[in-house]
Protein backbone atom coordinates (compact mmCIF):
# COMPACT_ATOMS: atom_id res chain seq x y z
CA UNK A 1 0.00 0.00 0.00
CA UNK A 2 1.12 3.56 -0.71
CA UNK A 3 2.40 5.68 2.15
CA UNK A 4 1.40 9.32 1.53
CA UNK A 5 2.05 11.89 4.23
CA UNK A 6 -0.83 14.30 4.90
CA UNK A 7 0.41 17.91 4.67
CA UNK A 8 -3.01 19.54 4.88
CA UNK A 9 -4.42 21.16 8.00
CA UNK A 10 -7.19 18.55 8.22
CA UNK A 11 -7.09 15.02 9.58
CA UNK A 12 -7.18 12.37 6.87
CA UNK A 13 -10.64 10.97 6.15
CA UNK A 14 -11.34 7.23 6.19
CA UNK A 15 -11.38 7.27 2.38
CA UNK A 16 -7.96 8.97 2.31
CA UNK A 17 -6.55 6.53 4.86
CA UNK A 18 -7.70 3.65 2.63
CA UNK A 19 -5.81 5.39 -0.21
CA UNK A 20 -2.58 5.34 1.85
CA UNK A 21 -2.71 8.79 3.47
CA UNK A 22 -1.21 9.02 6.95
CA UNK A 23 -1.40 11.93 9.37
CA UNK A 24 1.55 13.60 11.03
CA UNK A 25 2.22 13.07 14.72
CA UNK A 26 0.01 15.50 16.72
CA UNK A 27 2.81 17.90 17.68
CA UNK A 28 3.94 18.17 14.06
CA UNK A 29 0.33 18.53 12.88
CA UNK A 30 -0.08 21.54 15.20
CA UNK A 31 3.10 23.10 13.83
CA UNK A 32 1.97 22.45 10.24
CA UNK A 33 -1.42 24.10 10.88
CA UNK A 34 0.38 27.19 12.14
CA UNK A 35 2.60 27.25 9.03
CA UNK A 36 -0.36 26.85 6.64
CA UNK A 37 -2.34 29.74 8.14
CA UNK A 38 -1.44 33.39 7.64
CA UNK A 39 -3.03 36.31 9.50
CA UNK A 40 -1.85 38.88 6.98
CA UNK A 41 -0.82 38.73 3.31
CA UNK A 42 2.67 37.19 3.25
CA UNK A 43 5.81 38.36 1.53
CA UNK A 44 7.64 36.04 -0.84
CA UNK A 45 10.30 35.54 1.85
CA UNK A 46 7.64 34.54 4.42
CA UNK A 47 6.17 32.03 1.96
CA UNK A 48 9.57 30.49 1.26
CA UNK A 49 10.46 30.38 4.97
CA UNK A 50 7.26 28.43 5.62
CA UNK A 51 7.89 26.10 2.68
CA UNK A 52 11.33 25.32 4.16
CA UNK A 53 9.79 24.76 7.59
CA UNK A 54 7.22 22.34 6.12
CA UNK A 55 10.03 20.43 4.39
CA UNK A 56 11.73 20.11 7.78
CA UNK A 57 8.47 18.79 9.29
CA UNK A 58 8.40 16.02 6.66
CA UNK A 59 11.96 15.06 7.53
CA UNK A 60 11.23 15.12 11.27
CA UNK A 61 8.16 12.91 10.79
CA UNK A 62 10.30 10.41 8.91
CA UNK A 63 13.55 10.53 10.91
CA UNK A 64 12.37 11.72 14.31
CA UNK A 65 15.08 14.41 14.20
CA UNK A 66 14.95 18.19 13.86
CA UNK A 67 17.12 19.37 10.98
CA UNK A 68 18.57 22.62 9.71
CA UNK A 69 18.69 23.45 6.01
CA UNK A 70 20.25 20.17 4.91
CA UNK A 71 18.87 18.38 1.87
CA UNK A 72 17.06 15.17 2.77
CA UNK A 73 15.44 14.46 -0.60
CA UNK A 74 16.83 10.92 -0.75
CA UNK A 75 15.69 10.12 2.80
CA UNK A 76 12.19 11.35 2.00
CA UNK A 77 12.08 9.44 -1.29
CA UNK A 78 13.05 6.18 0.37
CA UNK A 79 10.63 6.52 3.30
CA UNK A 80 7.35 7.57 1.69
CA UNK A 81 5.55 7.32 -1.63
CA UNK A 82 4.38 10.90 -1.59
CA UNK A 83 2.74 13.79 0.20
CA UNK A 84 -0.77 15.18 -0.04
CA UNK A 85 -1.02 18.97 -0.07
CA UNK A 86 -3.82 21.49 0.03
CA UNK A 87 -4.20 25.12 0.96
CA UNK A 88 -3.60 28.66 -0.22
CA UNK A 89 -2.86 29.02 -3.92
CA UNK A 90 -0.01 31.42 -3.24
CA UNK A 91 1.73 28.85 -0.99
CA UNK A 92 1.06 25.57 -2.81
CA UNK A 93 3.13 26.14 -6.00
CA UNK A 94 6.32 26.81 -4.01
CA UNK A 95 5.60 23.90 -1.68
CA UNK A 96 4.94 21.53 -4.58
CA UNK A 97 8.11 22.60 -6.38
CA UNK A 98 10.19 22.08 -3.24
CA UNK A 99 8.74 18.67 -2.41
CA UNK A 100 8.75 17.31 -5.97
CA UNK A 101 12.53 17.08 -5.73
CA UNK A 102 12.04 14.47 -3.01
CA UNK A 103 8.76 12.66 -3.67
CA UNK A 104 5.48 12.57 -5.58
CA UNK A 105 3.07 15.34 -4.62
CA UNK A 106 -0.66 14.63 -4.61
CA UNK A 107 -3.92 16.49 -4.09
CA UNK A 108 -7.18 14.88 -3.07
CA UNK A 109 -9.80 14.60 -5.80
CA UNK A 110 -13.10 14.81 -3.98
CA UNK A 111 -16.77 15.10 -4.76
CA UNK A 112 -19.39 17.03 -2.82
CA UNK A 113 -21.94 14.66 -1.32
CA UNK A 114 -25.22 16.26 -0.19
CA UNK A 115 -27.72 14.60 2.09
CA UNK A 116 -31.11 15.62 3.39
CA UNK A 117 -32.90 14.44 6.49
CA UNK A 118 -35.93 15.60 8.43
CA UNK A 119 -35.36 16.55 12.06
CA UNK A 120 -37.83 16.03 14.92
CA UNK A 121 -39.53 19.37 14.11
CA UNK A 122 -40.23 18.30 10.54
CA UNK A 123 -37.60 20.64 9.11
CA UNK A 124 -35.51 19.44 6.19
CA UNK A 125 -31.82 19.67 7.06
CA UNK A 126 -29.30 19.63 4.23
CA UNK A 127 -25.71 18.73 4.87
CA UNK A 128 -22.82 18.31 2.53
CA UNK A 129 -19.29 17.01 2.81
CA UNK A 130 -16.45 16.36 0.47
CA UNK A 131 -15.80 12.68 -0.15
CA UNK A 132 -12.27 11.71 -1.18
CA UNK A 133 -12.29 9.71 -4.41
CA UNK A 134 -8.63 9.40 -5.36
CA UNK A 135 -5.20 10.94 -4.95
CA UNK A 136 -4.23 12.88 -8.07
CA UNK A 137 -0.56 13.48 -8.80
CA UNK A 138 0.35 17.13 -9.30
CA UNK A 139 2.52 17.21 -12.44
CA UNK A 140 5.81 19.06 -12.68
At 89-123, the pLDDT tens digits run 999 999 999 999 999 999 999 998 988 889 999 99
Q: Rounded to whole angstroms, how far apart are CA atoms 132 and 121?
A: 32
Q: 32 near 88, Cβ under 8 Å?
A: no
Q: Rounded to whole angstroms, how far apart are CA atoms 37 and 39?
A: 7
| Domain assignments of the chain as residue spans, ordered by start | 4-108
Q: Rounded to whole angstroms, how far apart are CA atoms 133 and 130?
A: 9
* pTM for the predicted model, two decimal places: 0.87
Place 68 in a pLDDT band, splitting at 50, 70 and 90: confident
Task: Please report, to the nearest 10 degrees, the dihedral formed by the alpha carbons of residues 45, 25, 13, 124 taken in order.
Answer: -90
In 3D, which of 81, 129, 84, 130 has the Cα closest to residue 102?
81
Amino acid sequence: MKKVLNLTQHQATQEQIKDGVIDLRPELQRELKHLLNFGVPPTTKEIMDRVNAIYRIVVEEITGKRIGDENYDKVINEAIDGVMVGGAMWLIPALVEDLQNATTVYASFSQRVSEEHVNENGEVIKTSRFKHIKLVEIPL
